[in-house]
Chains A and B, each alone.
Chain A
Amino acid sequence: MALLEVRDLSVEIATSRGTGFAVRGLNFALERGQTLGIVGESGCGKSMTALALMRLVPENARIGGAILFDGEDLAQADEARLCQIRGNRIAMIFQEPMTSLNPVHTIGRQIAEPLMMHRGLDAASARAEAIRLLDRVGIPEARRRVDSWPHQLSGGQRQRAMIAMALSCGPDILLADEPTTALDVTIQRQILTLIGDLVRDSGMSLILISHDLGVIAETVDSTVVMYGGMAVESGPTARVFAGLAHPYTQGLFAARPQLGQGAGKRLATIAGVVPDLVDLPAGCAFAGRCRLAVQACRVAPPAPQDLGLGHSAACLRLDAAREPAA
């Protein structure tokens, strides 16, 4: 049995302009010790998926489907049970290290908090453990830094502190929602390496969210490509990148920033914008931007097509997509 199995997950959001699905019909499984990447453009439902797994979606959102964690359906769990799991068995780190730490508590106290709550440590041993964790995530002079306020740390150090906090209770799953997007390029690499090392050492599972295909390709075992709240392509990372079956994945790949690219050269982008969740098209969400779209694409969302070895893509025009673009 998979450590985490998500079945037909949906997140429905009520906005002032009506309700819509930020996530719909999402399925994936994560084995213990495995790493999974979720990739897609801004607004395609990546963060909402992660928050749904923690049952921390905004108040105007409703979750549907099943989130089977170690056999227990988190979608049905009550608040008390969720508080035992959050930060303890499933931990999360966020995109914005600048605002994700509380400015009025020292980082030591913030790291000690889950230890005292979930592990029942007293203040002194929680502090000692916080120092050890800070040291582990590569913060120099951890003994002194433990009493720092968040505003005294750089962005990279804050993200390290966030990671220390997430790791404190030795979670089964680490959810990392664009952990490096807000950081300098040089720091990004260090943080990703750190996360990779920690995941390998501790044997925990990782769900890494990114809009950077390069990061996903290097870091995770399997990949889910999301668009309009749905998985348009998924499978083992190597196969997804070798196949690039879905026109959207192809577009993302063509649009990825590359090192050494001439400064004057404009970045290729996918034409058009992500559809608004309150008026998602009836058919394939990507049809409006897809060069291969035909009438059938606009009728109903396409079902995933099995491409073998766990690789699948939800597209009616997979054959046409295989031909090189004109």
Chain B
Amino acid sequence: MLLWTAIHGSHGIAAAIPREPIAVQIAAGAGVSVFLFRRFLTFLGTLVGASVVVFLVLEVLPGDPALIMLGTEAQADTLAALRKKLGLERPPLERYFDWIGGLVTGSLGMSHTYSVPVANLILERLQVTVPLAAMAITLSTALALALGLYAAARHNRPGDYGVMAFAQLGIAIPGFWFAILLVLLFAVVLGWFSAGGFPGWGDGFWPGFKSLILPASALALAQAAILSRVTRSSVLEVMREDYVRTARAKGLTRRRTLIRHVLRNALIPVVTIMGLQLSNLLTGTIIIESVFHLPGLGRLVFQAISQRDLPVVKDVVVLFAAMVVAINFLVDMLYAAIDPRLRLHDD
């Protein structure tokens, strides 16, 4: 719940920044560096907002973390010692600034349950979650673009209906259930993959990569289903544009027109949805990493919440928020790369 609020709350902030001022700013002749600087300020502002929310929610959360960690049987003096160690006696404002200072300098404090620095914990877990998310988004994007283009090219013919049926299924099937189906088929029946766990990157690339294939597929399914529908309708819409007729009148084949003149124009809504999906994917990892017993960031935050490992929860949630804002920033950059009308020009 907390995580949900933090991620989606912060995403709400980022999404609320209107898109058109970027174009207006650029058209007005503001420099690229000014543009970047403003986006960076937004980035910082969003992070500060997210950190305040996280901190406040954790402060007013009913239940003494020290008491919950140690159990109700705990001796009064052990409790007091832990409270002191956590710094719970100090005024909230001071604790907030200490925490932020730590975030800025990279000294994140210690995890109570693991008794290791939170920074180490996060870095270790990122080695699972980042490749997992990257694999899932690559897979879903490749699949969605291929299926969406194919369906649009076969508009109202069997191929189109087939893709749409797949998309409907992909959207309807819950990710965790699809994950279990994948495990049953590929791990239990066929034995091609292990049912879960992560061997680490120590034994080379392949074993680690292999163990992420099923989870990435489970994560990618719903995303690919949604994205292929977006791609299809966007491509169909662009195909009605006058410049597509111009391209055909120049003698381009259907296929070449689709690739050179339709696809790039159709990408804007696709990229928008992709950005949103990447944010969703981060929350998706919480479930999928638990299903596949992957030692990733999602599983870390899940366990940390259930164990009220306060420092870990705070830091990971702010990290999630930072990633979401960074993704939004990237999406804006991609818009400008795709569409020259959103770019700065010199006259």
Select one of A80, A84, A102 contacting B243, CB under 8 A: A102
Among the 9-residue stretches A86-94, A233-241, A273-281, the one with 4 or more Cβ atoms under 8 Å from chain B is A86-94
What 0/1 readout, one digit per residue, does chain A (89-115) give for beta carbons within 8 Å of chain B?
001101010011111110000000110
Contacts of A105 in B (CB 8 A): 261
> Does the CB pair B265–A102 fall under 8 Å?
yes
Is A117 in contact with chain B by the CB < 8 A criterion?
yes
Would you call A104 and B339 a contact (CB within 8 A)?
yes
Q: Is A165 an interface position by the 8 A CB rule?
A: yes
Q: Determine the residue in chain B with the shortest Cβ distance to A82.
A: B251
Docked CA distance A103–B340 (Å): 7
Residue B90 CB within 8 A of the other chain: no
Interface size in chain A (residues, C-beta < 8 A): 30
On chain B, the residues within 8 Å of A149 by CB distance are 340-341, 345
Query: A111: nearest residue on chain B (CB-CB)?
Result: B250
The answer on a CB contact under 8 Å between A83 and B340 is no
- Please tell me if the beta carbons of B249 and A99 are within 8 angstroms of each other in the complex: no
Chain B: residues with Cβ within 8 Å of the partner, total of 23
Would you call B251 and A85 a contact (CB within 8 A)? yes
Inter-chain contact A83/B341, CB cutoff 8 Å: no
Q: Are A151 and B341 in contact (CB under 8 A)?
A: yes
Interface centre among B251, B265, B345 (most CB of A within 10 A): B251
Scoring A residues 52 to 92 as 1 if CB is less than 8 Å from chain B, else 0, what string do you get? 00101000000000000000000000011001111110011
Q: A152, B246: Cβ atoms under 8 Å? A: no
* CB closest chain-A residue, reference B249: A92
Return chain A residues, CB-CB under 8 Å to B242. 94, 96, 99-100
Interface residue? A7 (CB, 8 A): no
**In the bound complex, do residue B251 and residue A56 qualify as a contact, i.e. CB atoms below 8 Å apart?**
no
Docked-complex contact B253 and A83, CB < 8 angstroms:
yes
- Does A87 lie within 8 Å of B250, measured CB to CB? yes
A118 close to chain B: CB less than 8 A: yes
The reply to whether B251 and A86 contact each other, CB–CB distance below 8 Å, is yes
Q: Which of B291-320 contact A (CB under 8 A)?
A: none
Interface string of A240-274 (1 = CB under 8 A from B): 00000000000000000000000000000000000
How far, in angstroms, from A105 to B244 measured CA to CA in the complex? 12
Choose from B250, B260, B345 the contact partner of A152 (Cβ within 8 Å): B345
Q: Would A104 and B340 count as touching, CB distance under 8 A?
A: yes
Evaluate contact between B249 and A91: CB separation under 8 angstroms: yes
B264 touches A152 (CB 8 A): no
**A79 / chain B contacts, CB cutoff of 8 Å:** 253-254
Contact check, A104 vs B345: say whether CB atoms are below 8 A apart.
no
Residues A100 and B243 in contact, CB atoms below 8 Å apart:
yes
Which residues of A are found within 8 Å of B124, using beta-carbon distances? none
- A94 and B250 contacting across the interface, CB-CB below 8 Å: no
CA distance A83 to B249 in the complex (A): 8
Partner among B241, B250, B340 whose Cβ is within 8 Å of the Cβ of A165: B250
Q: How distant is the Cα of A102 from the Cα of B243 in the complex, in angstroms?
A: 5
Q: What is the minimal beta-carbon distance from B23 to any residue of chain A, in angstroms?
A: 11
Query: Contact at A87–B249, with CB atoms within 8 Å?
Result: yes
Within 8 A of A (CB), among B92-137: none
The contact string, 1 if C-beta is below 8 Å from chain A, for chain B 60-89, is: 000000000000000000000000000000
Instruction: Report the separation of the CA atoms of residues A87 and B250 in the bound assembly, to the nearest whole angstrom.
Output: 4
Whether, in the assembled complex, B252 has its beta carbon less than 8 Å from a beta carbon of chain A, the answer is yes
Contacts of A162 in B (CB 8 A): 246
Neighbouring A residues of B265 by C-beta, 8 Å: 102-104
Q: Tell me the minimal C-beta distance from A167 to chain B in angstroms.
A: 12
Please name the residue on chain A nearest to B250 by beta carbon: A87
Given contacts A100-B243, A103-B243, contact A86 B341 (CB under 8 A): no
Q: CA–CA, A83 to B253, complex, Å?
A: 6
Residues of A contacting B250 in the complex (Cβ-Cβ under 8 angstroms) = 86-87, 91, 113-114, 117, 165
Rounded to whole Å, the gap between the CB of B185 and the closest CB of chain A is: 40
Closest CB-CB distance, A172 to chain B, in whole Å? 14
- How near does chain B come to A176, taking the closest CB pair, in angstroms? 12
Q: A149-B345, A152-B345, A152-B347 given as contacts; is B338 within 8 A of A104 (CB)? A: yes
Give bound CA distance, A102 to B252, whole Å.
14
Within 8 A of A (CB), among B206-250: 241-243, 245-250
- CB <8 Å contact, B248 and A56: yes
**Quick check: A83 and B252 within 8 Å, CB to CB?**
yes
**Nearest neighbor of B242 in chain A, beta-carbon distance:** A99
Is A94 in contact with B245, judged by CB distance below 8 angstroms?
A: yes
Q: Are the C-beta atoms of B252 and A104 separated by less than 8 Å?
A: no
Chain B residues, CB < 8 A from A152: 345, 347
Question: What's the least CB distance linking B159 to chain A, in Å?
Answer: 15
A151 to B254, CA, bound (A): 25
Taken together as a complex, chains A and B put the C-alpha atoms of A79 and B252 apart, in Å, by 10
What is the bound-complex CA distance between A91 and B249, given in angstroms? 7
Q: Which residues of A contact B248 (CB under 8 A)?
A: 56, 86
Q: Is the CB of B264 within 8 A of A117?
A: no
* B241 surroundings in chain A (CB, below 8 A): 99
Shortest CB-to-CB span from B194 to chain A, Å, is 45
Query: Cα distance A85–B249 when bound, in Å?
Result: 9
From 121 to 157 in chain A, residues with beta carbon under 8 angstroms from any chain B beta carbon are: 149, 151-152
CB within 8 A of B246: which of A84, A102, A151?
Answer: A102
Residues of chain A within 8 A of B254, CB atoms compared: 79
Please name all residues of chain B whose beta carbon is closer than 8 Å to the beta carbon of A94 when the two chains form the complex.
242, 245-246, 249
Distance of A83 Cα from B339 Cα, bound (Å)? 28
Residues of B within 8 A of A85 (CB): 251
Is B252 a contact of A113 with CB atoms below 8 Å?
Answer: yes
Within A13-41, the residues touching B (CB, 8 Å) are: none
Q: Chain B nearest CB: distance from A127 CB in Å?
A: 16
Subset of 22 A-B contacts with CB under 8 Å: A54-B249, A56-B248, A79-B254, A83-B251, A88-B251, A91-B249, A94-B246, A96-B242, A100-B245, A103-B265, A103-B339, A104-B264, A104-B265, A104-B338, A104-B339, A113-B247, A113-B250, A117-B252, A149-B340, A149-B345, A151-B341, A152-B345
Q: A83-B252, A92-B249, A103-B341 are in contact. List 6 more A-B contacts (CB 8 A).
A: A54-B249, A79-B253, A99-B242, A100-B242, A101-B246, A117-B252
